[in-house]
């Protein structure tokens, strides 16, 4: 496949555990990848990967990353809104700063990136936006009111954008990836990780490789939009 025939993906938060797995999986599947990271260290040491500085709370950096991608490849086939942070605390101890910071990165950042890339995808009349949400959006974990609110907002954003962009052949979906061994969960104790594992019907947590594999498959689909995909084996009630 020539470079001109390869699909092009822009990934935010590409230097995290899932971000790196997504870069590897998409490259393996023949995509050109633009890896958005807060600090450029390398171009991920992989062919077909270009690193760009991307703070999703800065509209100027978002516009620059998108223009760089279009100048280099002429199109953007997939945006994966993967950038995310936590600042856990009980609500009465949660600072206004930490509330705003988590909403700013996890929700506003995804909106800004989707808004900017949508213009290009509308011109192309093709594209796929995938938002990395969380099971916490529906379960509301204790001590994560800011994170749960942001991730629940991503579900609403996903469905609204799917309706707005569907007539332009732009698909928008959300992922609940499940608990995975990443820097975000590194601070959890062995006992806490075991609790998460046992909350799953299969008795284990997910892997970044399997999540990346599913997302790469989804990014290449044409007829799926407005959906939320849960990728672990936790079973929640219907209501």
Q: Quick one: pLDDT at residue 239?
A: 54
Q: What is the pTM of this model?
A: 0.93
Describe the crossing of helices 208-219 and 17-28 by its angle, rounded to 10 degrees. 50
Task: Please state, in angstroms and rounded to a whole number, the distance separating the CA atoms of residues 180 and 112.
Answer: 26
Closest CA relative to residue 119, chosen from 184, 63, 188: 63
Q: Quick one: pLDDT at residue 49?
A: 85
Catalytic: 147? yes
Phi-psi region of 105 (alpha: psi -120 to 50; beta: other; left: phi over 0): alpha
Closest CA relative to residue 36, chosen from 62, 12, 64: 12
Catalytic hit among 31, 147, 176, 196: 147
Model confidence over 103-138: pLDDT tens digits? 999 999 999 999 999 999 999 999 999 999 999 999
Q: Quick one: pLDDT at residue 46?
A: 57
- Domains of the chain with bracketed CATH: 3-230 (3.40.50.720)
Q: Quick one: pLDDT at residue 67?
A: 96
Q: Which residues of the chain have pLDDT under 50?
A: 42-44
Q: Quick one: pLDDT at residue 40?
A: 55
Q: Quick one: pLDDT at residue 45?
A: 54
Q: Quick one: pLDDT at residue 188?
A: 81
- List strand residue ranges (DSSP E) for the chain, in order: 8-11, 32-37, 49-53, 78-81, 127-132, 170-176, 228-230
């Amino acid at each position: 496949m020539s470079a001109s025939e390869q699909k092009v993906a822009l990934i935010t938060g590409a230097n995290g555990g899932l971000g790196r797995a997504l870069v590897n999986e998409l490259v393996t599947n023949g995509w050109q990848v633009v890896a958005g990271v807060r600090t450029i260290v390398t171009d991920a040491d992989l062919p077909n990967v270009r690193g760009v500085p991307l703070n999703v709370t800065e509209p100027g950096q978002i516009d620059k990353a998108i223009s760089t991608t279009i100048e280099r490849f002429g199109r953007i086939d997939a945006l994966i809104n993967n950038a995310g942070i936590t600042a856990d605390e009980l609500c009465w101890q949660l600072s206004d700063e930490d509330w705003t910071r988590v909403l700013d990165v996890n929700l506003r950042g995804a909106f800004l990136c989707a808004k900017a890339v949508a213009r290009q995808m509308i011109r192309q009349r093709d594209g796929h936006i995938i938002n990395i949400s969380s099971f916490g959006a529906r379960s509301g974990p204790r001590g994560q009111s800011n994170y749960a609110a942001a991730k629940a907002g991503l579900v609403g954003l996903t469905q609204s954008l799917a309706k707005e962009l569907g007539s332009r052949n732009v698909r928008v979906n959300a992922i609940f990836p499940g608990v995975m061994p990443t820097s975000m969960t590194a601070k959890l104790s062995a006992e806490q990780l075991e609790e998460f594992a046992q909350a799953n019907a299969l008795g284990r947590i997910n892997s970044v490789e399997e999540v990346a594999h599913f997302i790469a498959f989804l990014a290449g689909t044409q007829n799926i939009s407005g959906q939320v995909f849960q990728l672990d084996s936790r079973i929640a009630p219907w209501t």
